[in-house]
Chain A
Amino acid sequence: MKPGFHDLVLDAQSCFRAAMEAMARPGRVQEIPPTEGLPNGLEPAAAALLLTLVDADTPLWTDAGEEARGWIAFHCGAPLVRPGEAGFALVTGALPPLSRFRDGSDEAPQDGATVIVQVQDLVPGEGWRLSGPGIETKHRLRVNGLPEGFVASWEARRGTFPRGMDLFLCSGTRLAAMPRTVRIEESV
């Protein structure tokens, strides 16, 4: 089995702090230390998030291949389920329509899924203009590799707040978060 964290306690702590900073400051890009020898299709940032947040108590859906599933089962022990039942999702290919994931309820919006999406690239300082809680004025972020129409569907979903899902966008060792509150304006 390919390895997980080198130090289970301290690596999880530093990855969590990056994840917390990312969720608290949507669109800001955080850097995770590089990991060697991950299963096919799994990149360091997404893998570190799984090791940090996912376990036997968090049903997971993923489109990842056999090797990655085995690795997740070994290191995280998360039960694999259908998208609509998942607390966490790991997307390594094309992002399915957001409506396939859980969005919680008005009384328990925290039941909305956390979706970890591997994208081609995250470029801070250009692209989308993001606003909302966590953002002083505007954060800018270019995301390459999301399906066409993503921004329109994201903006449409914002109307259902507090229900919704929260995204981690990952590329290589980089990650950024998109909590359900963030507003996206496409650059013109």
Chain B
Amino acid sequence: MSAAVQEAGGYNFAYLDEATKRMIRRAILKGLAIPGHQIPFGAREMPLPYGWGTGGIQLTASILGPRDRLKVIDQGADDTTNAVSIRRFFQRVAGVEVTTRTAEATVIQTRHRIPERHLTEGQVLVFQVPMPEPLFRLEPRLTEARRLHALGDYSLAQLRLYEDIARQGETGSSYNHPVMVNGRYLMSPSPIPGYDNPKLHRSAAILLFGAGREKKIYAVPPWTEVRSLDFDDHPFRPMLAAAPCAFCGSRDSYKDEIVSDDRGGRVFVCSDTDHCRENQS
């Protein structure tokens, strides 16, 4: 019996039982060994709803230890309701130290953003993933998508990209734009804005992706080549609001657009609240 069991109020440390953690840990290791390939896993029903980050929560619960400092963000911010809820969950069931500072965190669980600050070697970034299959809009059948991944046949995705460019002059996806990992697997980067895609390329941190409802785990090891799907004559071009942040003045950070009045007024502020705080101080 572990001392950590009592501390977590009757539940095991970090909520999951040890057999479940072992199963998830094995999947993480295989994910790292086969970058970008989706590993099926026996996702558990969590006390938070599917679609609200259960995949990310199961990953975080399986890697987290008492020496970690956890940061949880949603839409780039530590104080959005679901980030607050998930952070509280881990404080309750694992008693770990938490932080809002990207630089101080060892494990960062995120939904829809990659922090602006460069991540470092000691950090693990855990993504919450709604639809892990990058081909799902083109081929909803999992059996068929699995076959296409086995063959490395991504002509469907390339054709869609070509059609978008022919019709509207640019790619159709502004977020969750698929990436090629290590030149082999097409991967969903989760619904991060295209602006964040380049941060996946040769990241110093370990990137883990968890989809609870779809029961898939995948990973990108550090320093791995990650390229947004594009064509040589139409390179992938991330979108960024032109306005500077109303709080810190940053021009190169990703912004939230806030409607400030009913006469078309708009204010732009950094989506990454920790980055904005650092800029202001």
Contact = CB atoms under 8 A, between A and B. Distances in A.
Contact of B30 (A55, A57, A166): A166
Contacts of A134: 32, 221-224
B26 A133 contact: no
Interface string B245-272: 0000000000000000000000000000
Contact of B4 (A10, A17, A25, A164): A10
A79 interface: no
A183 to B, nearest CB: 12
Contacts of B147: 107
A134 B182 CA distance: 11
Interface residues of B, number: 50
Nearest to A6: B2
Contacts of B204: 136
B18 A23 contact: no
Nearest to A109: B34
B39 interface: yes
A136 B62 CA distance: 26
B237 interface: no
B165 interface: no
Contacts of B12: 9
Given A13-B64, A52-B25, A109-B34, A24 B206 contact: yes
A20 B32 contact: yes
B241 interface: no
B65 A14 contact: yes
A144 to B, nearest CB: 24
Nearest to B205: A24
B48 interface: no
A36 interface: no
B53 interface: no
A24 B34 CA distance: 11
Interface in A35-80: 52-55, 57-58
Nearest to B35: A133
A110 interface: yes
B37 interface: yes
B234 interface: no
Interface string B203-228: 01010000000000001111111000
B114 to A, nearest CB: 17
Given A23-B29, A53-B25, A133-B224, A181 B63 contact: no
A98 to B, nearest CB: 14
Interface string A124-152: 00000000011110000000000000000
B149 interface: yes
Contact of B63 (A16, A133, A180): A16
Interface of B: 1-5, 12-13, 18-19, 21-23, 25-35, 37, 39-40, 62-67, 146-147, 149-151, 182, 184-185, 202, 204, 206, 219-225
8 tightest A-B CB contacts, nearest first: A179-B33, A9-B2, A134-B221, A106-B150, A133-B224, A110-B30, A13-B65, A107-B150
